Amino acid sequence: MAAALVGLSIRLAWLQVKEGDQLQARARAIQTQQVRPIGKRRQIIDRQGTLVALDEERFTLWAHPRYFNFPGDDPTAIRGALDVAEKLSEVMALPASDLTRTMGSQRSGIKLATDLDAETAERIRNLGISGLDLEAFPQRIYPQGQLFANVVGFLNLDRVAQAGLEQSRDKEMWRQESPRSMKRGGDGTPLPSGLQAGVLYTDDLRLQLTLDTRLQQVAYQALTRQLKEWKAKRGVAMVMDVRNGEMLALASAPTYNPNRFWDFSPALFREWSVQDLYEPGSTFKPINLAIALQEKAIKPSDKINDSGSLMIGGWPIFNHDRRANGVIDFPTILQVSSNVAMVQTMRQVKPVVFWQWLEKIGIDTVPDTDLPGAVAGQLKSRQQFTSQPIEPATAAFGQGFSLTPLKLLQLHGMLANDGKLVSPHITRGLRSGDALAGAAGPGEGIQLLDPAVTRQVMGWMETVVEESSGDGVKVAGYRIGGKTGTAQKALNGVYIPGARICSFVASLPIDDPRYVVLVVVDEPQGGNAYGSTVAMPAAKQIIESLLVIEKVPPSKPKVRG
């Protein structure tokens, strides 16, 4: 016994002294589990906290028949593939014969199913079958479907961002995750001694949009209804807070479902309202009148002779209805949308000064925005604009240069914002937990026009709504200004016969301007397709919903002079 005790003591000392470090390292390796991050992305929410994009955990089920064993079985027993298939069949709602056929005669590494939801995965886990392995992976889900696809974009099946904010802000969308090492007991319980400080930190940041799901839904439905009725190619509806540039809605149609992007043409993956150019036509006339007033080339009380037609540099210019309106004032010019009167008005501004203003307001500059893919408009060179009389003449009624719908929205926002140009944007930044950014105050901007000038033009735009036939966009108790536009569509510098772009822009409420609404419809069909018939009805529905959603109080009565 003494010899045995001496031998055990020597062995114990050998294990503790000679092999202690090595054995301790082996024990730690067995007890410690390395948990690697699966690469989750941050959520995207709207201005009210409604989920727009999120990662959901999905699972792939792997089978290893060489290890099949049921709870309570002898540890050395190996179950057959059919036994396991029958158990799985009840949980997965799949025929056992199909599962058995998939496993075949392979001994390991068989993919039985993918894209399993968390509930199904938990039921499989509860079966306790050895030889089944559930591999977790994240899948990007877009709960609102097609509603925000045009601005949010999507991830492909390899989780690579392909469009929209998902692509332009890709680096910001990945959560900060690091591998975790923790010790576990024999039953798998995490041991506190194995956790490092901060290892359980959870990145809960979310990207908050300025867009409102409720208004986005209204805008999309109103727009698609008009596109269907007029068999139009495409359209966009936009709403912006003129004080800070926050966009409350940006709906495009046709669009796509980002959850099934493979079913749609890649041409739909881009937001055309910030990437494609068009000639704004009559919706630009209020901006030109503001330029003329700012330059003191005209006075608010002036009147212009509209003869119905003009010849400029050998080119004829007509009103849209080919009618002469006689001597009219500026509110009437906007009401009847007189091209001839606009040309006569802008003739009072020197061509070089007119061109400088078009450049100053950023026609040929990329808008300062967080919308992906925004492009600059096109403006004729200074030399061409000043040497060819037809250029300032066509620019007077919104043709001969081009911009994006986003830029036009920004410029009308400038008129409504006392001449201050702010940057349109659709994000409020990253927010933590349940915190949401509140309504932003007036944003920083560039003061380009005298507030007295813009208020005068806004008053003229109000008369357009007041004097319009029918209801137009009139809403009882609210003062609204607006302007229609029906422009010819050009391709490679040549106007396409019969092709039109119809639009309508509204600012409200006139007594305290807060919002601009713009609807643009590309290539509506039919002889009666105009801004007033195609775009205005959609704008009316959007305005009515906007007033309710934003709780806009009724306007103060207009003071009659």
Across 189-205, b (16+ Cβ under 10 Å) vs e yields eeeeebeeeeeeeeeeb
CA–CA gap between residue 267 and residue 495 (Å, rounded): 23
> Of the residues 252, 282, 338, 545, which is catalytic?
282
Residue ranges per structural domain of the chain: 51-68+111-141, 213-423+438-549
- By mean pLDDT, which of 73-77, 189-193, 327-331, 474-478 is the weakest? 189-193
Closest CA to 216 of 42, 45, 441: 45
Work out the pLDDT band at 432, boundaries 50, 70, 90: confident
DSSP designation for 117 = -
Is residue 245 within 8 A of residue 422, CB to CB? The reply is yes
**Overall average pLDDT of the 220-229 stretch:** 97
My answer on whether omega of the bond before 316 falls inside 30° of 0, hence cis, is no
Around Cβ 120, how many Cβ atoms within 10 Å? 18
Q: Is 282 a catalytic residue?
A: yes
Kindly tell me if the per-residue pLDDT of 471 is higher than 90.
no
In terms of pLDDT, which residue wins out, 186 or 131? 131
Confidence at residue 279, expressed as pLDDT on a 0 to 100 scale: 94
CA–CA gap between residue 213 and residue 225 (Å, rounded): 18
Tell me: the pLDDT tens digits for 153-211? 999 988 999 999 999 999 999 988 655 555 656 545 555 555 555 555 567 899 999 99
Amino acid at 164: G
Percent of the chain clearing pLDDT 90 (strictly above): 71
Work out the pLDDT band at 560, boundaries 50, 70, 90: low
Across 535-544, b (16+ Cβ under 10 Å) vs e yields bbbbbbbbbe
Alpha-helix residue ranges (DSSP H) falling in 148-249: 149-152, 164-168, 170-173, 213-230
The CATH H-level superfamily of 213-423+438-549 is DD-peptidase/beta-lactamase superfamily (3.40.710.10)
CA–CA gap between residue 283 and residue 485 (Å, rounded): 5
